[in-house]
Structure formats: structure tokens, C-alpha cells
């Protein structure tokens, strides 16, 4: 299985942008990059996914490096409700999602 590497934890100030990095140096050409987040006492929530091009949606932006060996999830203006564990996952074909330990994001008021 292709693996991802994320920092264990990050902090950010409220109302500032947050850049969450993910390294996936062994990514294959057909792996999609998925991001999920998990708020306390809830199930994971889909955030965004991409293959090669940068992607934007109402929740976040996903910036994918040209060589696809890394990606960055961007929260444009963090709020206290964005405090969660963020998971970067590679998805190949119709294989199931395999979660790592993610990045615990703390938002400082």
C-alpha cells in the first residue's frame, strides 16, 4: 500500500490560513489523494480529493505538487470548528480507505 506521512500535530491562529502538508513519495500514477477530517466524537468527514490538478471546494483547497509526491490541504480562514484530526489518504482503484494517524490541528483563538 502506498503510504503517506503527515506531521502529528499543528497549531494555527483563528481566522488565518492553514496549510496541512502530506508527503506521499511512493504514489502511483492512478492513486487519488483524499483528505478527511474527524471532529471530536464524530466519524471522519470527507473534505476533498484530487488526482493531478489543484482542487477547490467550499471547505478547502488541495494543492498537488507537480511530481505528485506531496500535497497540501489549505483551509483559507481557520475557525474554531476546524479543530480536528486531518487524514491524508491515497486511494487506488476501488480499494478501501486505509487511515494513518493524521495531523491533529489545534486552532488558537
Partner 1 sequence: DTGVSQNPRHKITKRGQNVTFRCDPISEHNRLYWYRQTLGQGPEFLTYFQNEAQLEKSRLLSDRFSAERPKGSFSTLEIQRTEQGDSAMYLCASSAAGGRPSYGYTFGSGTRLTVV
Rounded to 10 degrees, the C-alpha dihedral 5/35/97/68 comes to -60
Question: In whole angstroms, how close is the CB of 91 to partner 1 at the nearest point?
Answer: 4
**46 lines the binding site for partner 1 (CB under 8 A):** yes
Which CB atom, from 87 or from 107, has the smaller least distance to partner 1? 87
The stretch among 20-28, 58-66, 68-76, 83-91 that binds partner 1 (CB under 8 A) is 83-91
**Angle, CA of 33, 23 and 18, to the nearest 5°:** 80
Which CB atom, from 29 or from 109, has the smaller least distance to partner 1? 29
Amino acid at each position: 500500500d502506498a503510504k503517506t506521512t503527515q506531521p502529528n500535530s499543528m497549531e494555527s491562529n483563528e481566522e488565518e490560513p492553514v496549510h496541512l502538508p502530506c508527503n506521499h513519495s511512493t504514489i502511483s500514477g492512478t492513486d487519488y489523494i483524499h483528505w478527511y477530517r474527524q471532529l471530536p466524537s464524530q466519524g471522519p468527514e470527507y473534505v476533498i480529493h484530487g488526482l493531478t490538478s489543484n482542487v477547490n471546494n467550499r471547505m478547502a483547497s488541495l494543492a498537488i505538487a507537480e511530481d505528485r509526491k506531496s500535497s497540501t490541504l489549505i483551509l483559507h480562514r481557520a475557525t474554531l470548528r476546524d479543530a480536528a484530526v486531518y487524514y491524508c489518504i491515497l486511494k487506488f482503484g476501488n480499494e478501501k480507505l486505509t487511515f494513518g494517524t493524521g495531523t491533529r490541528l489545534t486552532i488558537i483563538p
